[in-house]
Amino acid sequence: MIGAELLRVEGLTKHYGARIGCADVSFDLREGEVLAIVGESGSGKSTLLNCLSAQLEPSAGTITYLRGDGAALDVYGMSEPARRMLQRTDWAFVYQDARDGLRMSVSAGGNIGERMMAVGNRHYGAIRAEASGWLERVEIGTDRIDDRPSAFSGGMRQRLQIARALATKPRLVFMDEPTGGLDVSVQARLLDMIRALVGQYNLAVILVTHDLAVARLLSHRMMVMTKGHVVEQGLTDQVLDDPQHAYTQQLVSSILQT
């Protein structure tokens, strides 16, 4: 269910020298709300996601995170350690390539446990039990808890990455093409799982995708980007079914089916 405001973004801009990464992006996000950022490669959507998730300092603009206790935090105004703490506790990031979000030389259970330990969990038995619960939730057999992700298929790795990201119960999750590069049937399973988990834990999600069908199935709202600018935003089905901007119309009409 969509709740209170959680993120406020104002005038976010990133220049690479004279080149525009993203320009003057503003929006609000609420608890439980899934926002898709769509556009072709080079549209600036990944730059924007990196700025939003405090991994790439913007050239201008502010991001305010409204913590559960009511505190309003200026994401780029806080100290580096405080920002890292926020990324480990309230936030999580799911990468397109699971290898970027997992430690490939550590067991599946260890990957989940590690993130829990980073937020202060110390009891080995409790961590292992929790890791085991998360493996079940993402449909990985608990008999695989001691296997390394390097022995997993692409779809399993991605599910493990999601388990690792959600184990600390974040409020806000950033996802960069989470189903990209997977077989269609594996994609369907992952979409179903992401949607169920997002609903169950009432997560706010900012999702970057070039796949409009993924945006339609997962998101409540979407923003369309081209050449670093947001050209249209609104309710997902409205943007897809009644696109207003020339670029969105072209994008929607050039896909086979959504």
- Phi, psi torsion values for 9, nearest 5 degrees: -115, 125
The C-alpha atoms of residue 211 and residue 220 are separated, in whole angstroms, by 15
Question: Of residues 26, 55, 105, 244, which one binds other proteins by CB under 8 A?
Answer: 244
User: What x-and-dash track marks residues 20-59 binding other proteins by CB under 8 A?
Assistant: ----------x--x--------------------------
Candidate segments 65-73, 93-101, 123-131, 240-248, binder of other proteins by CB under 8 A? 240-248
Question: Of residues 74, 136, 183, 237, which one binds other proteins by CB under 8 A?
Answer: 237
The C-alpha atoms of residue 195 and residue 177 are separated, in whole angstroms, by 14
Question: Of residues 106, 119, 132, 234, which one binds other proteins by CB under 8 A?
Answer: 234
Minimum separation from the CB atom of position 67 to other proteins (A): 20
In the bound state with other proteins, the residue whose beta carbon lies nearer, of 100 and 241, is 241
Q: Is 229 in the site for other proteins (CB under 8 A)?
A: no
Residue type, 6: L
Q: Which residue do the tokens 């080995």 mark?
A: 124
Cα dihedral value 131, 119, 5, 229, nearest 10: -90
In the bound state with other proteins, the residue whose beta carbon lies nearer, of 83 and 221, is 221
In the bound state with other proteins, the residue whose beta carbon lies nearer, of 2 and 72, is 2
In the bound state with other proteins, the residue whose beta carbon lies nearer, of 33 and 90, is 33
First to last CA, the chain: 24
Check: CB of residue 208 under 8 Å from CB of residue 223: no
The C-alpha atoms of residue 146 and residue 142 are separated, in whole angstroms, by 9
Burial status of residue 175 (CB atoms within 10 A of its CB: 0-12, 13-18, 19 or more): buried
Q: Is 173 in the site for other proteins (CB under 8 A)?
A: no
Site residues for other proteins, 190-209, by CB under 8 A, read 191-192, 195
Question: Of residues 189, 210, 227, 229, which one binds other proteins by CB under 8 A?
Answer: 189
Question: Of residues 221, 224, 225, 228, which one binds other proteins by CB under 8 A?
Answer: 221
Where along the sequence are the contacts to other proteins (CB under 8 A)?
A: 1-2, 30, 33, 188-189, 191-192, 195, 216-217, 220-221, 234-235, 237-238, 241-242, 244-246, 249-250, 253
